[in-house]
């Protein structure tokens, strides 16, 4: 190490310029993959909504490849999907993300045979009152691969459910619409979301 790191400071309450351009819509008509709408709320330790949080999303494409030069898997890139999203919470603490279900990506593995991670979205949460960003993941309900995902398995069993989105019932008339999921981010208290030290 030749130079020393710059410390984190809170995003504060006045970050609206970062939300210019709607980055909550991560897909276009040409994007490959299963559409999913993820709705949720950010809640504090009193159960009150957090109206000044910003969530950033980073994910692989439908085949499980990240649009990044260090992902050298032999999978196709999708020119209509880059994997980054950003959304602010509204006055009720709510956010909505429009994306696709990513494919599985490999885990860190010293062995020659790959260990796969279950499909997931990587999230960073910033807010007034958070001095250092929080890192979490959204996993998908009903995925067999969740049971063997090395990151989920590192989480105490009783807290894993905080990382798995819940299906929202679709009305019969709505069956053609995108899959809808719910994922609340609880910053503190009972049902506190699992956050990762990366």
Partner 1 sequence: MTVVGYRRPAPGINPDNNSSAYASTRARAPRHPAIRIEHTLSEITGPHFETGGASAIDLTRGARGEALGERIIVTGRVLDDDGRAIAGALIETWQANAAGRYAHESDQHDAPLDPNFAGAGRIISDSDGAYRLVTIKPGAYPWRNHPNAWRPQHIHFSVFGTGFAARLITQMYFPGDPLLAIDPIFQSVADPDARARLVAALQMDVTVAEYALGYRFDIVLRGRDATPPQE
- Residue ranges in 81-100 that form contacts with partner 1 under rule CB under 8 A: 82-84
Task: With contacts defined by CB under 8 A, name the span among 11-19, 27-35, 92-100, 170-178 that binds partner 1.
Answer: 11-19
- Among positions 17-46, residues that touch partner 1 (CB under 8 A) are 17-18, 44-46
Q: Which tokens sit at 43?
A: 């809640």
Query: Which stretch, 27-35, 115-123, 164-172, 174-182, contacts partner 1 (CB under 8 A)?
Result: 115-123
Is 14 a residue that touches partner 1 (CB under 8 A)? yes
> Using the rule CB under 8 A, is 175 a contact of partner 1?
no
Q: Which of 38, 55, 100, 127 binds partner 1 (CB under 8 A)?
A: 127
CA distance 120 to 36: 12
Alpha-carbon gap, residue 162 to 165, rounded angstroms: 8
Q: C-beta of 151: minimal distance to partner 1 in Å?
A: 5
Q: Are 96 and 39 in contact (CB under 8 A)?
A: yes
Scanning 29-37, 93-101, 103-111, 174-182 for contacts with partner 1 by CB under 8 A, the matching segment is 103-111
58 binds partner 1 (CB under 8 A): yes
- Binding status of residue 77 toward partner 1 by CB under 8 A: no
Q: Which of 79, 92, 106, 147 binds partner 1 (CB under 8 A)?
A: 106
Q: Is 50 in the site for partner 1 (CB under 8 A)?
A: yes
Nearest residue to 96 via CA among 54, 37, 136, 48: 37
How far from 105 is each of 73, 79, 122, 133, 165, CA to CA, in Å?
9, 18, 12, 24, 19
**DSSP secondary structure code for residue 62 in this structure:** T
- Least separation in angstroms between residue 177's CB and partner 1 is 28
Of 196, 186, 194, 182, nearest in space to 45 by CA: 186
> CA 72 → CA 48, 68, 102, 122, distances in Å?
43, 8, 17, 19
User: Is 155 an interacting residue with respect to partner 1 (CB under 8 A)?
Assistant: yes
């Amino acid at each position: 190490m030749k130079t020393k790191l710059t410390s984190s400071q809170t995003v504060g309450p006045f970050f609206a310029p970062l939300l210019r351009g709607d980055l909550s819509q991560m897909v276009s008509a040409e994007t490959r993959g299963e559409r999913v709408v993820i709705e949720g709320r950010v809640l504090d330790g009193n159960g009150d909504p957090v109206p000044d949080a910003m969530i950033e999303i980073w994910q692989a494409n439908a085949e499980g490849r990240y649009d990044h030069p260090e992902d050298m898997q032999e999978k196709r890139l999708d020119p209509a999907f880059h994997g980054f999203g950003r959304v602010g919470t509204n006055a009720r603490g709510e956010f909505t993300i429009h994306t696709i279900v990513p494919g599985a990506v490999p885990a860190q593995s010293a062995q020659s045979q790959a260990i796969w991670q279950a499909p997931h979205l990587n999230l960073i949460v910033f807010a007034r009152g958070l001095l250092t960003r929080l890192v979490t993941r959204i996993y998908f309900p009903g995925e067999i691969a969740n049971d063997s995902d090395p990151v989920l398995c590192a989480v105490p069993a009783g807290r894993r459910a905080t990382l798995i989105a819940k299906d929202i019932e679709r009305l019969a008339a709505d069956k053609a619409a995108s899959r809808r999921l719910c994922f609340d981010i609880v910053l503190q208290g009972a049902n506190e979301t699992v956050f990762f030290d990366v």
